Chain A
């Protein structure tokens, strides 16, 4: 019996020592698992993004390279998410433009959950009739926020103030020398051709109207705007006027054309003049 008491006591003391050891390493372990939970959420979010969001926001999240479900390259309809305006600073630039008072995470999460009314950004959360569970919304939110990095946030982008009227722009230093050859290239690299097709080939357009005759048609769309003014406005604010006919029926409102070109072309403002020269010179 004495032996048993000794064995029992030793086992008990060992257990206590092990527990003591466990307690000592606990703070480090806890933070390790908190990070792991976040890491795994980001991984799950990456899968969700790849399957649901990349068609509009681009495979790298910068809205430059988008594919439809058949694997063909299409124009990106979404805003860039791997992007200074969405992720850098607090409040971020985007939060400011939309008067968002909550946190950055809530901004992204709410946008994903509820979609954005008046744009093609869909509703995603089950709560609002979308397809995703709350945990999936959280996963993809974590993934989007994970694009924030020192590199991305090192330089604030130059924001170009587009003049109200096309004429003012065309008269400025940036707008005066349009190069149609370069415009033809930009028409492809900005992804216009993905939706509007080849300007030399009527009927090659998949999503938006064919632009081969926009130099004429543009004069008739909106009262008081000539073709240059109309194309200028169509690029900067697609929702200002919705074209009646698209290849697959009446054009949808809100416009399927992304509202991001104002910002994207703004980092290289002479591109606008080149595009105009290309489209109108045709």
Chain B
């Protein structure tokens, strides 16, 4: 059976998305390249942000790519794990803060 879900080799083929829509694909890669250049934030700082976001959106391709990239750019194991905790804390907090909405609703409709 074909492996259709999350094949590690597919990451190398990311660039092929232009095959089906050239213009948008190229614009995306141009933009992507621009975003990760040295800027007000260093390329190194951006790599760690990307690592945290990769965990928040749970993209296995991005996790592979930015685990290597952040390590290669010199972040330590503990710094990288703390970045993952930041993603987890924001995700956890995002659920929990909606608890206030739930409380508001319940308080409104209850006696």
Tell me whether A and B are bound partners: no
Interface residues of B (CB under 8 A from A): none
Interface residues of A (CB under 8 A from B): none
